[in-house]
Amino acid sequence: MRLIRKLFSCAALTFAAAPLSAQVLTLDAARSRALARQPSITALELNARAMAEAASADGALPDPRLKIGLLNLPAPNFPTAPWEDMTQFVISYEQMLPGGDKRRLRESRSLAEAAQAQAEAESQRQLIQRDVALAWLDAWQAQAAERSVRELAAEFGRAVELAQIGVASGRGQQAEVFAARQMQSQATDRRMELAAQAERARAMLRRWVPDAGSFELPAELPPWREPPPLAALAEGLDQHPLHAMNLRALGVAEADVALAREAISPDKTFEIGYAARQGNRSDMVMMQMTFELPLFRERKQDRLLESKLKLAERAREQRADHLRQLRAELDAVWAEWRITGERLDNFARGVLPSARGRLDTLLLAQASGRAELAQVLEARRQLIEAQLQEIALKSGHAKARAGIEYFEHPAEGRK
């Protein structure tokens, strides 16, 4: 039975070999390509620039008005009646002047909205960094698992051939052939299931990297640096890009409050005009100033101010709630990263060495006639199952690390 041991060894070497034909898409490359070709970020940045451009217009004076008309036309036989001496052709210029500091406050509010839109773009960039990592890791896990089970199915196929040779030579039993075929069929079904998962994972990755299907994924995960301490990450949550969007929303609400306070300052309208008259009567010049009178503040301006104050308080409460949400997510992903790391250590120290030792022991026992082929195949299947669990744990550990990275300051280095 030395031939079986050689076949298993060759299969293990084949599994370890990396594909050479296709170009490899690393995690960093996937992130870079996703950010470089992401329409959602471009749309948000354009929105921020549009609001910033509109700020100066919001702070400018309203457009003036030019008035042209006739005054004191004689009513009888209008419009054929001749003009009288008091009839006037009037042209005037009218300009509205916002009261108080309304112009500056309106410009400040528009700039606050632009800052909120820019913060939204930065938070979207941070979200995409994380989501691309999760999609890439899903695809990597499905590919690695499918490759492992594909090799297992091939091994079971070679075991069927060996069992048939043993039956033909009179040294084996037909039951071993059926056992090997059953193992091969189960492994093939599992491989097809994992292949379907790999296709779905690739499709999700193409959401961020449209040409991801033309790349091969690396055989091993990239190395990840140790994350900063949990306490340091928690202290930096207030500066997180996603939380900055809530902070900018509070700035918009406070700008609305300032505008509502200024609503009691009456707007003024200045008008100057020239009236031309016929006959020997003198032409006339007109100048007048119009004031708005906020006589009913308790029914209008005060209620508007109270409404804006409540909206600003709502923005503060939403900001505090979002900070709690971020802290809960950080604690959860940190716990996942820590526990998954401990499980990986346990697999490396105990589970995998035990599974490999059991397989090696059964191979030696089969070579001396003290173990059946079915026992060897089952031990091999259990080893592959343990390796699949290790692949899932590696992917889960990397996902948790990507989740922690999401909470790190964007200016810090990554892996």
Residue 11 in tokens: 């299969």
Q: In this predicted structure, what is the pLDDT of residue 138? A: 92
What is the chain's mean pLDDT, rounded?
A: 81
Distances (CA, A) of 396 to 137, 196, 203, 339: 8, 20, 20, 10
Q: Is the dihedral of CA 43, 49, 52, 57 positive or negative?
A: negative
Report pLDDT digits (tens) over 320-371: 898 899 999 999 999 999 999 999 999 999 898 988 888 888 878 877 777 7
Cβ-defined contacts of 195-198 (< 8 Å, 24+): 195/146, 197/142, 197/145, 197/146, 198/139, 198/142, 198/143, 198/146
DSSP state of 256: H
Closest residue by Cα to residue 222 from 78, 55, 24: 24
Q: Is the entire prediction scored with pTM above 0.75?
A: no
Residues 6+ apart with CB under 8 A from 212: 25, 30, 139, 202, 205, 206
Q: State the burial class of residue 261 (Cβ atoms within 10 Å of its Cβ: 0-12, 13-18, 19+).
A: middle
Which residues lie across from 71 on neighbouring strands?
88
* pLDDT mean over 203-226: 87
User: CA 156 from chain center: how many Å?
Assistant: 43
Q: Return the SS3 of 238.
A: helix
Q: In this predicted structure, what is the pLDDT of residue 345? A: 93
Distances (CA, A) of 206 to 37, 126, 135, 211: 12, 18, 9, 7
8 A C-beta contact, residue 395 and residue 141: yes
- Taking the C-alpha atoms of residue 4 and residue 26, their distance in angstroms, rounded to an integer, is 36
Report pLDDT digits (tens) over 109-141: 888 888 888 888 888 888 888 999 999 999 999
Closest residue by Cα to residue 342 from 272, 396, 410, 275: 396
Instruction: Say whether the peptide bond before residue 79 is cis (omega within 30 degrees of 0).
Output: yes
Q: Report the number of secondary-structure helices (H) and strands (E) in the chain.
A: 10, 4
Closest residue by Cα to residue 408 from 249, 190, 227, 141: 227
Per-residue pLDDT band at 219 (split at 50, 70, 90):
confident
- Taking the C-alpha atoms of residue 178 and residue 408, their distance in angstroms, rounded to an integer, is 55
Residues 6+ apart with CB under 8 A from 317: none
Per-residue pLDDT band at 95 (split at 50, 70, 90):
very high
pLDDT over threshold 60, residue 22: no
Which residues lie across from 287 on neighbouring strands?
272
The owner of tokens 């008091």 is: 86
CB atoms within 10 A of CB 411: 6
One-letter amino acid of 242:
L
Q: In this predicted structure, what is the pLDDT of residue 263? A: 82
Report pLDDT digits (tens) over 261-288: 888 888 899 999 999 887 677 888 989 9
Phi, psi at residue 216, to the nearest 5°?
-95, 145
User: Among 19-23, 25-29, 68-72, 186-190, whose mean pLDDT is lowest?
Assistant: 19-23
User: Among 87-101, 176-190, 226-240, whose mean pLDDT is lowest?
Assistant: 176-190
The DSSP code sequence of 134-192 is: HHHHHHHHHHHHHHHHHHHHHHHHHHHHHHHHHHHTTSS-HHHHHHHHHHHHHHHHHHH
pLDDT over threshold 90, residue 164: no
> Interior CA angle at 209 toward 212 and 37, to 5°?
140
Residues 6+ apart with CB under 8 A from 70: 87, 88, 89, 90
